[in-house]
């Protein structure tokens, strides 16, 4: 794919909510189509993967409106909306106000995905992302990640 870009955003751990790791990509497909996709991993009591791919046929868009960061900005806004909806749904189910906390996403790094994998978190979901992404850079990186072993950890409170 031409003009690919991969970027990661993550939250700081929030008590009761866990962490949010957002994997986002953009690229061009053919002459007229651009795409963006996101994969959001939310840890916590019920770990979840939220994902979506967006494709835009640029034929009917004036070039000035879609140049620059159009699809990147769109995907980031979709991620914010998806995370907000997810936590609001949790709030509606529980009426617990901590689900209404603001989640700020900071710049992350591909290594965030490696750390999730070696801790044994989101392994099924990371394999699924690897199989479904349209981004060659992400597919290549995750291909290496899924070959890594889970690290050994000792819970000292049990000694």
**Cα distances (angstroms) measured from residue 133 to each of 63, 88, 153, 158:** 26, 27, 31, 40
Q: What is the pLDDT of residue 81?
A: 92
At 64, is the pLDDT very low, low, confident or very high (cuts 50, 70, 90)?
A: confident
- CA-wise closest residue to 39 among 101, 83, 85: 83
Q: Which residue has the higher pLDDT, 140 or 95?
A: 140
Average pLDDT rounded to a whole number, residues 86-98: 79
pTM score:
0.89
**pLDDT average, residue stretch 124-141:** 96
Return the pLDDT at 1: 43
Run of H or E including 79:
helix 70-94
List strands edge to edge, sheet with 20-29.
48-57, 33-42, 20-29, 2-10, 106-107
Q: What per-residue confidence (pLDDT) applies to 2?
A: 53
Residue range 11-38: mean pLDDT, rounded: 87
């Amino acid at each position: 794919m031409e003009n690919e870009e991969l970027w990661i955003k993550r939250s700081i751990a929030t008590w009761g909510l866990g962490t949010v790791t957002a994997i986002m990509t953009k690229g061009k497909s053919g002459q007229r189509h651009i795409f963006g996709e996101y994969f959001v991993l939310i840890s916590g009591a019920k770990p979840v993967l939220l994902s979506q791919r967006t494709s835009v046929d640029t034929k009917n868009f004036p070039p000035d409106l879609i140049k620059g960061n159009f699809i990147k900005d769109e995907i980031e806004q979709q991620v914010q909306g998806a995370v907000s909806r997810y936590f609001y749904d949790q709030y509606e189910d529980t009426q617990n106000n901590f689900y209404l906390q603001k989640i700020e996403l900071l710049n992350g790094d591909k290594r965030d995905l490696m750390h999730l994998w070696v801790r044994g978190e989101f392994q099924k979901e990371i394999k699924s992302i690897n199989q479904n992404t349209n981004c060659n850079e992400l597919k290549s990186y995750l291909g290496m990640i899924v070959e890594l072993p889970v690290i050994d950890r000792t819970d000292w409170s049990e000694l």
